[in-house]
């Protein structure tokens, strides 16, 4: 019954998300000491009762993400932050849009753009 394990993992994430949202005092955010990537400016690692968790929180939208240090910043880059898209000030790119960036974006967003 490996499903049980997967479920309890999910439960931890759900629990952390609830605590983060409620700004629970048992939750604290720390900056990763290992990585100095730019991604960490918008994410913090989560501590629960002063114990570091394998989860990070997006400081823009408050979403809890599963994070494993070996994965580096991959999970952060993959996070399609709704707030970040709205503000669009975090990355200085956008001057020069490549074809591939159009392809990666959701086509629906560009449906209104005249070709
Ligand atoms: Zn976010």
How far apart CA 23 and CA 17 sit, in angstroms, is: 10
Compute the distance from residue 64 Cα to the ligand 1 centre, in Å.
9
Q: Which two tokens stand for residue 60?
A: 């823009």
Predicted confidence (pLDDT) per residue in 66-91, tens digit: 998 888 888 998 998 988 765 455 45
Tell me which of 16 and 91 has the higher pLDDT.
16
What's this model's pTM, rounded to 2 decimal places? 0.63
Domain ranges in the chain are 2-110
Longest Cα pair distance anywhere in the chain, in angstroms?
54
Contacts for 15-23 with beta carbons within 8 Å, 24 or more apart? 16/46, 16/48, 16/53, 16/55, 16/64, 17/63, 17/64, 19/48, 20/46, 20/57, 20/62, 20/64, 21/62
User: pLDDT tens digits, residue range 28-71?
Assistant: 999 866 666 777 888 999 999 999 999 999 999 999 999 988 88
In angstroms, what is the span from residue 113 Cα to ligand 1's centroid?
A: 26
DSSP state of 115: -
Q: 87 CA to middle of ligand 1, Å?
A: 11
Residue 57 Cα, ligand 1 centroid: separation in angstroms? 8
């Amino acid at each position: 019954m490996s499903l049980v394990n997967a479920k309890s993992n999910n439960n931890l994430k759900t629990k952390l998300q609830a605590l983060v949202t409620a700004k629970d005092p048992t939750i604290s955010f720390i900056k990763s000491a290992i990585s100095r990537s730019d991604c960490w400016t918008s994410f913090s690692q989560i501590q629960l009762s002063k114990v570091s968790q394998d989860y990070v929180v997006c400081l823009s939208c408050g979403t809890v993400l599963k994070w494993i240090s070996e994965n580096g910043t991959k999970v952060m880059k993959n996070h399609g932050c709704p707030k970040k898209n709205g503000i669009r000030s975090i990355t200085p790119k956008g001057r020069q849009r490549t074809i591939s960036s159009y392809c990666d974006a959701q086509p629906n967003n560009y449906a209104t753009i005249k070709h």
